[in-house]
Amino acid sequence: MIMSQFEEYCTKFVQAVGNKEGAVSPSIVNSASFAYGTPQIAEGIFEGNVKKPLYSRMGNPTSARLESTMAQMDGGIGAVVTSSGMGAVSLAVMSIVSAGDEIISIGGLFGGTYALFSETLSRFGVQTHFFDVDALQDIEAAINEKTKIIFLESVGNPNMKLPDIQAIIDIANRYGIATMLDNTITPLSIKPLKLGIDIAIYSTTKIISGNASALGGCVVYRAIQDEDKFRSSRYQDLHKIIQKMGKGALIAIAKKRAMRDFGMSANAHASYQTMLGLETLPLRVERITQTVESVVKELDKQGLSINHPALHQHPHHQRYLKDFQNGCGTLFTIDMGSKEKAFEFLNTTKIATLTANIGDSRTLALHMASTIYRDFDEDTMDFLGITPGLIRISIGLENPQDIIKDFLASAR
Ligand SMILES: *Cc1c(COP(=O)(O)O)cnc(C)c1O
């Protein structure tokens, strides 16, 4: 496994989070509101000419520090942090779409995102078409003048499918449609903006924070160019903001068309905790992705039904080797064959913590059909790859041999 890019991130994160003068740890600015001093300054802040905090729903100094580090991490022009990963998905999507628009969604999505698209947004007149990652022809055929977003995740959770991200970007660019990638596995695995994705989305709750200490999300935006898909007639209703704000317009669009009115704002304390997580992210990702590979290979060898693209029988194994050289995150699944067997495993394991989270320092496990996916009908479960015996595992920092031993004993 090539780890050279991680060195760059190690330096970037610790240097960005710590201060060289005064308090080394970033300060937490807990104030909800900010005093302007004079009416002239107040006017300037509201005009946007004076760069001072307006009100914490619209931006907070501690969160701004995290935003700048996250934007640097992805090579974006800026970022907006949110109260949760779902807050980030909502911010990114709702700042672009209006009633009558359509979304193309690719892959087996995170449950909350699937419900947002299939239930909530459809109540507001936004229709989503869902496709398997490899249905490229159908995806292209579904594009029409109402299509505003092509949305995908860098790795299917929990179906472990890997999209051909470049092929999907090429289709989107041919028709001038905005691409959004939920890259919760972080740019240490996949670098969305470098690949040509327009908008990168993160649940920072997961591996970025890394220890269940803070709920959070983030959307990273690229700069608007002189020739840009967002300047086409498809995105007519964004043009006023783009004309006024130029390069940084996508940030203004997110704040004015979603954050201000829906209020999914991050709080300063969570942003601070998230920065502490970022400092050690490269070390944890390196450790965990190596452990994932050794655990899945050993469990597979011992005859367990394991789903992970590092295994040669996985349909996207070649894509994994080519496009995911730094691994694809913390997850894999075990199919125990039945709910009873799955429960037996979960009642026996001493290593795994049973919880709906992923990307923690600890190894986590959850039976899918009886928890997160319990409200979905059979067809949807099928599409999302949820079988009765399916357990999702998120690998942590423990000794890989301890995990293997515990899992083999629990699967007997
Ligand atoms: C967890 C998760 C989300 C939602 O994040 P929250 O912080 O729980 O709101 C979105 N996308 C992916 C891929 C996730 O794993």
Question: Given a cut of 90, is residue 178 above it in pLDDT?
Answer: yes
Per-residue pLDDT averaged across 346-365, rounded? 97
Residue 275 lies in a domain: no
User: Residues 189-198: pLDDT tens digits?
Assistant: 999 999 999 9
Tell me, yes or no, whether 61 and 163 share the same domain: yes
Give the integer Cα–Cα distance in Å for 282 and 83: 23
Nearest CA to ligand 1 atom 4: 85
Tell me, yes or no, whether 264 and 333 share the same domain: no
Question: Given a cut of 90, is residue 284 above it in pLDDT?
Answer: yes
For residue 4, name the pLDDT band (cuts at 50, 70, 90): low
Atom of ligand 1 nearest to the CA of 157: 13
Tell me, yes or no, whether 204 and 93 share the same domain: yes
Per-residue pLDDT averaged across 41-45, rounded? 97
Question: Given a cut of 70, is residue 121 above it in pLDDT?
Answer: yes
Q: What percent of the chain has pLDDT over 70?
A: 99
Residue 264 lies in a domain: yes
Question: Given a cut of 80, is residue 299 above it in pLDDT?
Answer: yes
Nearest CA to ligand 1 atom 6: 85
* Domain ranges, residue 238: 4-270
- When divided into structural domains, the chain yields a total of 2
How far, in Å, from the CA of 232 to the mean position of ligand 1?
31
Q: How many CB atoms lie within 10 A of CB 136?
A: 17
Atom of ligand 1 nearest to the CA of 89: 10
Domain final position from 219, 248, 270: 270
Question: Given a cut of 90, is residue 173 above it in pLDDT?
Answer: yes
Q: Ligand 1: which of 152, 154, 203, 331 to mutate, most ligand atoms within 8 Å of CB?
A: 203
Question: Given a cut of 70, is residue 320 above it in pLDDT?
Answer: yes
Pocket around ligand 1: residues whose beta carbon is below 6 Å from it?
A: 84-86, 89, 110, 112-113, 153, 157, 182, 184, 203, 205-206, 215, 217, 358
Q: Ligand 1: which of 110, 160, 211 to mutate, most ligand atoms within 8 Å of CB?
A: 110
How far, in Å, from the CA of 88 to the mean position of ligand 1?
9
Q: Tell me the CATH number at 289.
A: 3.90.1150.10
Tell me, yes or no, whether 247 and 343 share the same domain: no
The confidence score (pLDDT) of residue 392 equals 97
Question: Given a cut of 60, is residue 1 above it in pLDDT?
Answer: no
Q: What percent of the chain has pLDDT over 90?
A: 92
Q: Model-level pTM?
A: 0.96
Query: Who contacts 376 (Cβ-Cβ below 8 Å, separation ≥6)?
Result: 111, 384, 386
Residue 40 lies in a domain: yes
Question: Given a cut of 60, is residue 18 above it in pLDDT?
Answer: yes
CB 285 within 8 A of CB 207: yes
Atom of ligand 1 nearest to the CA of 112: 4
The confidence score (pLDDT) of residue 334 equals 98
Q: Ligand 1: which of 184, 201, 202 to mutate, most ligand atoms within 8 Å of CB?
A: 184
Question: Given a cut of 70, is residue 53 above it in pLDDT?
Answer: yes
**What ranges make up the beta strands (E) of 19-145?**
78-82, 102-106, 127-131
How far, in Å, from the CA of 121 to the mean position of ligand 1?
17
Per-residue pLDDT averaged across 1-25, rounded? 85
How far, in Å, from the CA of 357 to the mean position of ligand 1?
9
Q: Tell me the CATH number at 208.
A: 3.40.640.10
Exposed e or buried b for every residue in 285-313, given b needs 16+ CB within 10 A? bbbbbebbbebbbbbbeeebebbbbbbee
